[in-house]
Structure 1
Amino acid sequence: MDSPLAPLVPPASVLNETLGALLLGGFARILLYGVFCQQCFTFFRRFSREGAMLKYSIWALLFLSSLHIAFTIHPVYILLVSSVGKILVPGQVPWSVAASTIVTMASDLIVRSWFMYRVWILSDRCLALIVPPLVCQLFIVAVAARVIILGTLYQPQNISDLFLTILAVIVVTDFYVAVCVCWFMYRRGQNASSRTRSLLKTLTVYIINSGLVTSAFWLVCMITHATMPRNFVFLAFLSPVTGLYENCLLASLNARDWFRHEMHGAASIRLTPQGSSAIRHFSGLSYKPDVPETTSDSHSRSFGSGHGVLPGHVAIQVDREEAKAVL
């Protein structure tokens, strides 16, 4: 009687570059998802009276992140459990990998829109400065839609150039936004007090570090896909990058309480629009903290427009000096 055929086991090098990379990327994504859920819990507990637009954005990010987790686990299960003993064909992955990329683009669109909004606020609502990242974002959406229409997301012979183009544009867009925010914060701190300059410097370092981390992941993903298009190494960096974006946004929003306490006594941090007309004008965007805000003395004067502060950034009022810092 003939013995049953032994299951086919791919070489170790193939497993490292395919299943190993996919598994490590999934682990990193799940870890960041746990951190993001904790950040969301903190946000809704501390800022339950936040503007509707920002809260809806966070809920949308939480839904997309949960969906992305499902699309991250599915290919790992299919390739490690359902496909045991089968020959791995380089360049062919389950449909959920393509679906996870679509979810990634949608989630990044929301986060990057808030980052562009910050540039618009810091530049005193200069539309010319947000046109370049806006055009890049529309280009990314258009190319991603083209990839979906083709229906061959990870067949390198068909859409490899499109995929690399998307990654390159994302890196350029993130770098542009980070540079703009840091430049305007530097200008705001020129005539501020030493304590305000120290706070602005801390914010600048945070923005640079968060921008560098996400840009580095996109850049490594682009390089690995260009040099090794027939394996899954690039997925080890593509999977967690969405979690990095989401956590960067939530961490900056949740840090507003820390900055308020940091400046307590020497300054006041207004997190709500000043005046009833401002609240009416930005009824969907105004930030209304659950704790009483600290007010400065009669010598303090507001900085910027009369509409006050919108979600995602903090106006620091110091006696006779002021600075506006975007978190």
Structure 2
Amino acid sequence: MQEIAPVPPEAQDVVVAAYRYQSGQPAQVLDIHHLAAHDPLQDGFIWIGLKDPSEATLREVGAQLGLPDNAVEELIAPHRRPKLLEFSNCLIVVAVTLGLKDLRPLLGTTQILIAHGLLLTVRRGSNSNYLPLRARLESTPALLARGSDFVASELLDLIVDQYQTSLEQTEKAVEAIEQQFLIRGFKENDVRRIYRLRRDLLRVHTAVSPLAELTRRLSRIELEYVDAESRAYFAEVSDRIARTAEFINSQRQALAFAFEGGLMIGQMQQTDTTRKLAAWAAILAVPTAVAGIYGMNFKYMPELEWTLGYPLALGLMGSVCGFLYWKFKKAKWL
């Protein structure tokens, strides 16, 4: 087996778990820096979990497990979208993980390498925890005996659970926005918040939805490292991811309706204000016109000599203004 320089001790914290599971025996802790040759028929099932490993760690583990160079390069390379890669002696599934911080999405990746009797998981940029799944499977050895492909399907199912947990929080935020819209409408900051949330949901949908097609492919295509018995589990995961993508779209549509409703209310308020201004302008135009005529100071204006000329002018202006106010009030412009 190829000689590789040992990884420094400070890199050991990248190992979340490394166990060998054999039928009728307790789980055996493995040292990833000293992995012996593995025969899945005799040595059982190995499950190694790494978190944010260095390139040197991945190369060492890959060499000890006998992984092809191109598979190791894929494990080292960063990914932003779900991906399925098949190699000479293994299969790599890249899944995007989702978390939330202050209602902002935190996207990470989990690379799942499936081989005969081997499951290697590499997590990056993710705070998700797979320990509950490991504990559940360890408590039921018959599940671990189904192989690495079954455990991979369970791991993908757990990732979908984390999708739904995060999306439940965004659903509450969307409902709060809708409630706010019904009570007091939107302000400028509210519009920015809606746009940001819709943009975040679009990012999540773009990152999550390809995983549905990827798992559907695992459930339908005959692959060397996925047994026929495990395909049904991948099909179920695919259906859950498809429903999750539809749920994301429904949240985006709810925000779109709220945004459009806010715009319509704003336009209605603006129209109402314009009507009020137009009505008051028409009312005030009457005294303005009469006062303007009297302000022209013509020499021959007989009404200037009338004793009742001033009261009549004021009465005329008041009557016309009152009539216009009544008409606009009746038309609900005021």
TM-score of the two chains, using structure 2 as the length reference: 0.29
Higher relative contact order, structure no. (Cα contacts within 8 Å, ≥ 6 residues apart): 1
Higher Cα radius of gyration:
2
Q: Normalising by structure 1, what TM-score?
A: 0.30
